[in-house]
Amino acid sequence: MHLDAIVIGAGFAGLYQLHALRDRLGLRVCVLEAGGDLGGTWYWNRYPGARCDSESHAYRYFFSKELYEEWQSSERYPGPAEIRAYLDHVARKLDLRRDIRFSTRVTAARYDEGTNQWRVETEAGERLSATWLVTAVGCLSSTNVPDIPGLADFKGRWFHTGRWPHEGVDFRGQRVGQIGTGSTGIQAAPVVAETAAHLTVFQRTANYSVPAGNHPLTAEFRQWVKSNFEEIRAVTRSTVNGHAFRISERKALEASPEERRAVYEKAWETGGLQFRGTFYDLLTSRAANDTAAEFIKARIRAIVKDPATAQDLADIDHPYAAKRPPIDSYYFETFNRPNVSLVNLRKDPIERITPNGIKTRTREHPLDIIVFATGFDALTGPLLAMDIRGRGGCSLREDWKAGPHTYLGVQIAGYPNLFTITGPGSPSVLTNMPAAIEQHVEWITDCIAHLRKNHIRTIEPAEPAVQAWGEHVQECARATLLFDAKHSWYFGANVAGKPQVFMPYAGGLARYARHCAEVAARGYEGFVLDRGRAAEAVAPTAQAGV
C-alpha cells in the first residue's frame, strides 16, 4: 500500500497531523497506532490517581475555535477517561478514525533512496510505503522497568504504571510496594493507600511537590473559558512553557522575605504548576530557587507528623523544578496514614526482589503487589524502539549511540522526509504538550506544503545546522538549573546504559516557535532541499536571535 504520508501514533500529535495533512493538504495519509484505541499516553496510563498536570482549558487543541468552544471539561485537571473522551470527540468531529489502524505496532522504517519512499513494517509483518514519514510516538511512551534482580521469581503481581491494566487493579487486603516518587508515583500513592492493606513507598530521590488543587469546574469558569478562546490561546503561545498562565516578571530576591512568603503561600493555596511561575528567575538563579525550595521543604515537615519520615521526604538533593516538578492531591498527608510507610533507599537500598517481596539491605518487605512508578526511556526511547534506517541503510540506533542529534528536534540528518513531532532537541516535555505539538504539526504541514508546491523531492538537515542546534540546546540548558540535576530523565540518567545528554530544548516554546518560523521564512535555512537535480543547501546564518 503506498501513501503520501504515514503517521506513527494516534495521540494528540498523530490525530492533529492526520487532520492537517489529509484535510488541509489533501494527502493520502494513514496513522499506525500500537494501542487498541486513540489517546497515546492516555490510552496506556490508567494507573490510580492518573490525571493531567496541565489545566483542562490549556490541555486541548487550539487550532479550531469551534472545537475549543464546544468542549466542556468537568474538572480543573482532566483525568485519562475525560482526555480520551475529548480525543474521541475530536476524532468523530473530524472523521479521523477511518484513516487510523489500531493495534498496529511499527517495528521498522527504512528509507529507499531509489524510489524516495519510506518503507514501513509492522509487528504483524505488514508493509506500507509513503513519501513522508511523521513520528507522533510521544516522549514518554517507552516504559522503564529497572533491572532489579529477582523480579522473575516474585510470586505476587507486578505492574508498571505506564502499562496499567484497563480493568484496574483491586488493592483491597493487599500489601503493596510502590517503587518511584516522580510525578506518577506522587499521584498514585494516595489513591493506592485508600484501599491497600499496607502501602510501602520505596523512595530513591526525595521530590518536591505542590498541591494540585483539583476541583470540579463551576459553570461560571466554563463560560469564561468559552468566551476567552483568543486570550487563552495567546497566553499559551507567548510563554516559555505553553501553559495558560503568565510567569511573573519579578525576581525572587527583589521581594522582601515577607512578600516572598506571601507569594509562595498564595501559590501553594492556588495549587498547580503556577508555583513555578511565582518568580521568573526560579530556574536561573540558585539563590532564588533556594527560597522556593526551602518553602516547600518546610511545608513537607509541617504536614508529615513522623519526624523521621518528614526528614526523609524533605531531604531533597536538587533545586526545585530542576527535575520535572510534580503536583499532588494529598501526597505528603498520605504518610500520616497508619497503613503507609516510607523506605529511604538512599539509606537502605534495594538488594533484590524475592519471591515474597522486596529485600532491602536491612530487611525483607513482604508484598503481594509491586507497582513500578519508575518512569520512561524518555524522548529517544520511543524512536529507537523502531529500527529506523536512513540513507545508505544508516541506522538511527547506531547514529544516536552517543545521544540524539537533530535539527530543531524535528528532523535528522541522513533521514530525508522523516519528521519527528516533539523530538529530542525541541521544547516538548518542558511544555504543556498540546501547545508544543500544535506548533510542530503546523510547521511540518507548512513545510510539506512548501516542498510539494516547489517540486522538492527531499528535505533533511545539513550537518552544520545539526551541530549548531545541538550546541545551542546544550547552551540553553546550561543557562538553567535544569543542568544541575544530572540524575533527571531529561539527561536520560534514569535508564541504565543510556547516554547522558540533556535532551529537550530549554530556551522556551515561544522563542523556539519564532525561530522555527524564521527558519522557514528564510527558505528552510539549515536544511538541504533536493529538487531531483543537485541538492541545494540553504546555508545557516548565525543562530542570532534564537
Residues in contact with ligand NAP by the rule CB under 6 A: 51-53, 140, 146, 179-185, 187, 202, 204-205, 324, 345, 350, 373-376, 429, 487, 489, 494
CA distance 268 to 364: 38
DSSP assignment of 432-498 equals -HHHHHHHHHHHHHHHHHHHHHTT--EEEE-HHHHHHHHHHHHHHHHTSGGGG-TTSGGGTTTSTT-
Torsion of CA 32, 38, 44, 50, to 10 degrees: 150
φ, ψ of residue 106 to 5 degrees: the values are -80, 125
Task: Compare residues 264 and 489 and give the one whose CB is closer to ligand NAP.
Answer: 489
Rounded to an integer, what distance in angstroms lies between the CA atom of residue 300 and that of residue 318? Answer: 16
What does the block give as the cell for 178? 510502590
239 or 411: CB nearest ligand NAP: 239
**Residue listed under C-alpha cell 522526509:** 417
Measured CA to CA, the distance from residue 344 to residue 201 in angstroms comes to: 9
In terms of C-beta density within 10 A (0-12 exposed, 13-18 middle, 19 or more buried), how is residue 512 classed? buried
β-bridge mates for residue 537, sequence order: 528
Q: Judging by DSSP bridges, how do beta strands 106-112 and 117-122 pair with one another? A: antiparallel
Q: Smallest distance from the beta carbon of 452 to ligand NAP, in angstroms?
A: 35
Nearest approach, Cβ of residue 204 and ligand NAP (Å)? 3
d(Cα 516, Cα 460) in Å, to the nearest integer? 15
Minimum CB distance to ligand NAP, residue 499 (Å)? 16
Consecutive H or E run containing 40: none
Neighbouring C-beta atoms of residue 458, cutoff 10 Å: 20
Least Å distance between CB 341 and ligand NAP? Answer: 16
CB of 433 to ligand NAP, least distance (A): 8
Between 314 and 456, name the residue whose CB sits nearer to ligand NAP: 314
Q: How far is the CB of 522 from ligand NAP (least distance, A)?
A: 33
Q: Please, what is the minimum distance in Å from the beta carbon of residue 372 to ligand NAP?
A: 8
Write the CA distances from 220 to 144, 216, 272, integer angstroms. Answer: 42, 12, 20
- Spatial neighbors of 299 by CB under 8 A, at least 6 apart, are 268, 332
Nearer to ligand NAP, 375 or 434 (CB): 375
φ, ψ (nearest 5 deg) of residue 14: -65, -40
Q: Which CB sits closer to ligand NAP, 377 or 460?
A: 377
Beta-carbon contacts of 88 under 8 Å, excluding residues fewer than 6 positions away, are 38
Select 208 or 512, whichever has its Cβ closest to ligand NAP: 208
CB-nearer residue toward ligand NAP: 140 or 225? 140
> Measured from the CB of residue 490, what is the shortest distance to ligand NAP in angstroms?
9
Please identify, using beta-carbon distances, which residue of 21 and 437 lies nearer to ligand NAP.
437
**CB of residue 147 vs ligand NAP: minimum separation in angstroms?**
8
**Residue number with the smallest Cβ distance to ligand NAP:** 182
CB closer to ligand NAP out of 50 and 388 = 50
* Comparison of 207 and 417: residue with beta carbon closer to ligand NAP: 207
Q: In whole angstroms, how close is the CB of 326 to ligand NAP at the nearest point?
A: 7
Cβ 387 vs Cβ 119: under 8 Å: no
Q: How far is the CB of 429 from ligand NAP (least distance, A)?
A: 5
**CA atoms of 16 and 34, how far apart (whole Å):** 17
Q: Where are the alpha helices (DSSP H) in 36-170?
A: 41-44, 65-70, 80-93
Question: Closer to ligand NAP at the Cβ: 227 or 362?
Answer: 362
Write b or e for each residue in 223-248: b if 16 or more Cβ atoms lie within 10 A of its Cβ, otherwise e: eebeeebeebbebbeebbbbbbbebb
